[in-house]
Amino acid sequence: MKFWLKQFAQYPPDHPDYWRVQLIGYTLLITMSYFFILALINLLYFNSLEYTLLDSVGLCISFVIFYHFRKTGHVQIASWATTIMVSSLIMLFAISAKGQSYSLFWSTLVPLISFFLIGRKWGTLISCLTFAVCAFLVYQQTQDPEPVTIRTQALFNIIEVCIAQVLLIRFYEKTRFSGYKKLALRNLEIQKMAETDKLTGLYNRDKLDKVLEQLLTIKAVNNDVMPDSDSRDNKSPSIDKGVDDKNPTEPRLLKLISRFQSPISVVMIDIDHFKRINDNHGHLVGDKVLCELAHILQSQMRNDDLLVRWGGEEFVMVLLNTTLNDTIELTERLRQYVAKQNIQGLALTISLGVAQYNSQDSADSILERADKALYKAKSQGRNCVAVA
């Protein structure tokens, strides 16, 4: 089938007409095969010249539309031509069979094709017209005193229409599935973009607010029922890392948050005299320093902790299951580690402000205390850790 279906460069998979183009191709290939087989069956098995002629006309028209569509890629013309051809041949067949031998069953294909190819408005009109003709044929049958006899033709009609229905519905399901998948992926991308800092690839401030809010709400509830554990080595729930995370939109934190009982520390980190780096080496170097520092900080953190870019040259860490003493020890180690690094050929230092969660804290108040601690560290001469 793929060999016969031409892929048009002007209709890539994300083009609104992509699936219409596919359906035109599929429908025309299916109708050509159907008309060819039906013509043979009607000629050789039923000896019906009338139906053989009808099928041959269908085969020729399908081929002409198929050929024209492959040459021009004109979706609108091909959609209308296919719909009119399919519905009028079905109607011609049903009328010539006087609606007998389940020939009316073919009309159920008309809405499937017309709605998809020419839209709701015209699809409704053509389907209603087709069904009106069917109703009229049935009415005529009711007026006919002769009893209806079921022949082999009826069996063929039922089988052929069922196969066509299954093929079309399979196609629609594929279309729907592919559409939803694309939408879901796009939503994930958008969510990721909204939560990520473009420069460093870390989570951004919005994400921090969201995570802290959830974390502290659960913490406040749990504080009423469970005592805090007091060691960083205890098994703790995790927060996603921002950098290089394959799926930052589905943090492990959210899955584990309900089990959360442990102490939380928030650390605000600021590069000392960053303005001088920009002034002396330019903003591009400044940007590279920010990226490199983000990776250095990330490399020194546990998988369980969260690092975000707060804005400018400031970062925030959220440490789970970490007591105040552990946090001071850890941040001091981090400060010394950064001071020893050569970042873009520069030696730089950081100041850190630490705040430990207490039961009165909200997301805003704990960040505010960490910020005050950072201010203290700056006023103590920078390159140090201060506690709120």
Ligand X SMILES: Nc1nc2c(ncn2[C@@H]2O[C@H](COP(=O)(O)OP(=O)(O)OP(=O)(O)O)[C@@H](O)[C@H]2O)c(=O)[nH]1
Q: How far is the CB of 351 from ligand X (least distance, A)?
A: 7
Q: Is 98 in the site for ligand X (CB under 6 A)?
A: no
Q: Is 378 in the site for ligand X (CB under 6 A)?
A: yes
- Residue of 205, 210, 273, 295 that binds ligand X (CB under 6 A): 273
Q: How far is the CB of 282 from ligand X (least distance, A)?
A: 8
Q: Is 313 in the site for ligand X (CB under 6 A)?
A: yes
**157 versus 298: smaller Cβ distance to ligand X:** 298
Q: Is 287 in the site for ligand X (CB under 6 A)?
A: yes
Q: Is 58 in the site for ligand X (CB under 6 A)?
A: no
Q: Is 349 in the site for ligand X (CB under 6 A)?
A: no
**291 versus 320: smaller Cβ distance to ligand X:** 291
Which residues, 6+ apart, have CB-to-CB distance to 214 below 8 Å?
253, 254, 257
Instruction: Assign residue 102 a region (left: φ > 0; alpha: ψ between -120 and 50; beta: otherwise).
Output: left
**13 versus 282: smaller Cβ distance to ligand X:** 282
Q: Among 153-161, 270-278, 318-326, 338-346, which window interacts with ligand X (CB under 6 A)?
A: 270-278
Q: How far is the CB of 270 from ligand X (least distance, A)?
A: 5
- Residue of 141, 222, 278, 365 that binds ligand X (CB under 6 A): 278
Please say whether the beta carbons of 350 and 383 come within 8 A. yes
Closest-approach residue to ligand X (CB):
286
Q: How far is the CB of 202 from ligand X (least distance, A)?
A: 12
- Residue of 55, 160, 272, 371 that binds ligand X (CB under 6 A): 272
Q: How far is the CB of 290 from ligand X (least distance, A)?
A: 6
**232 versus 335: smaller Cβ distance to ligand X:** 335
**5 versus 285: smaller Cβ distance to ligand X:** 285
Question: What number of CA atoms fall less than 13 Å from residue 290's CA on the CB side?
Answer: 24
Q: Among 106-114, 177-185, 253-261, 284-292, which window interacts with ligand X (CB under 6 A)?
A: 284-292
Q: Is 275 in the site for ligand X (CB under 6 A)?
A: yes
- Residue of 241, 286, 306, 361 that binds ligand X (CB under 6 A): 286
Q: How far is the CB of 286 from ligand X (least distance, A)?
A: 3
* Region 196-225 residues binding ligand X, contact defined as CB under 6 A: 199
Q: Among 141-149, 217-225, 286-294, 299-307, which window interacts with ligand X (CB under 6 A)?
A: 286-294
Q: Among 22-30, 212-220, 222-230, 267-275, which window interacts with ligand X (CB under 6 A)?
A: 267-275
Q: Is 270 in the site for ligand X (CB under 6 A)?
A: yes
SS3 per residue for the chain: CCCCCCCCCCCCCCCCCHHHHHHHHHHHHHHHHHHHHHHHHHHHHCCCHHHHHHHHHHHHHHHHHHHHHHHHCCHHHHHHHHHHHHHHHHHHHHHHCCCCCCHHHHHHHHHHHHHHHHHHHHHHHHHHHHHHHHHHHHHHHHHCCCCCCCCHHHHHHHHHHHHHHHHHHHHHHHHHHHHHHHHHHHHHHHHHHHHECCCCCCECHHHHHHHHHHHHHHHHHHHHHCCCCCCCCCCCCCCCCCCCCCCCCCCHHHHHHHHCCCCEEEEEEEECCHHHHHHHHCHHHHHHHHHHHHHHHHHCCCCCCEEEEEECCEEEEEEECCCHHHHHHHHHHHHHHHHHCCECCECCCEEEEEEECCCCCCHHHHHHHHHHHHHHHHHCCCCCEEEC
Beta carbons within 10 angstroms of residue 245's beta carbon: 19
Q: Is 376 in the site for ligand X (CB under 6 A)?
A: no
Tell me how far apart the alpha carbons of residues 346 and 361 are, in angstroms, rounded to a whole number: 38
Q: Among 45-53, 88-96, 127-135, 271-279, which window interacts with ligand X (CB under 6 A)?
A: 271-279
Output the CA–CA distances (angstroms, integers) from residue 85 to 110, 213, 326, in the order listed: 10, 61, 78
Q: Among 41-49, 143-151, 203-211, 281-289, which window interacts with ligand X (CB under 6 A)?
A: 281-289
Q: Is 274 in the site for ligand X (CB under 6 A)?
A: yes
Chain contacts with ligand X (rule: CB under 6 A):
199, 270-275, 278, 283, 286-287, 290, 312-313, 378, 382
